[in-house]
Structure 1
Amino acid sequence: MSGIHVSTTINGDAVEYVCDVEETLLDVLRDKLGMTGSKEGCASGDCGACSVTVDGRLTCSCLMLGAEAQGREIGTIEGVAKGTELHPVQQKILDNAALQCGVCTPGFVVAAKALLEKNPDPTETEVRYWLAGNLCRCTGYDKIIRAVMDAAAEMRGN
């Protein structure tokens, strides 16, 4: 059986790969493209550890086939920082000690960045609602929510 040729854009770069029809985008990112930042936590779309953006929309990459990336714009955790400069969400997660084991962290960062691009001045309730699809077993959510709120304030210049 031959694979499917896919041309897409990942983190602003044109990318081509060949994948099998049953391979998820998460499998392609990790196994074919060496982008191991997105994690597989559940393989059923329940934990958010594999969150990416697809054409600006938050998506669980474990639920999307690699072939479905054809012609789409994919954003992963690897594209969040600009060179060596961390995105404010990443920096505030560090500043607030809002991580422990790190499995959930990439998904939270991608989700929070997507939220702040859509709504730069969210309420705490809106942040909690937006991040409800991301599960953390180690840190708890208060530090993560505080980090996102602090990043939003910084990005607004407050």
Structure 2
Amino acid sequence: MASNISSDLIWECTRGQSAFLCKRKSAGGMQFSRDPLNLVNKHSRKYDGFLSDKAIGINSSDKSIILTTKKANKANKPASMLQTSTFKATTPARNLYRSIVNSTAKKGYRADLRAEAVSRASAIKRSQRPVKADRVPKLRGVKARKEKEVSSE
């Protein structure tokens, strides 16, 4: 059961002003979206998730990745419309990507957004990686001998 109003009509009504719209004059008039179901945070008809009956959203929380899917059969029940799956930061990358693709491929979600979903999950996983401390390079050859002579004196 889908919404009674066309998603094209909703887009025409909300594209100029929306709670998710973020306009930037400094970036050449670029328009961004804060929609949690928007995979690339770009304000366009293609990527806005609140318009689609079935949408995918990938966000981060502390040490985890959250996959949010919108269920088309719950369009008139906002409380149960979104389904979330949480993956720990320790989840292997291949398992994470496989589960994202499998959860969207079999249920009729948009195939053209799968690559964006995987790339967003990859970026979030990369940002949650612990930062390595600056390590001092090990000196070799002539430089090591000079350093050894200086330290022994």
**TM-score normalized by the length of structure 1:** 0.26
Name which structure has the greater RCO, CA cutoff 8 Å, separation 6+.
1
Larger Rg: 1 or 2? Answer: 2
**TM-score normalized by the length of structure 2:** 0.27
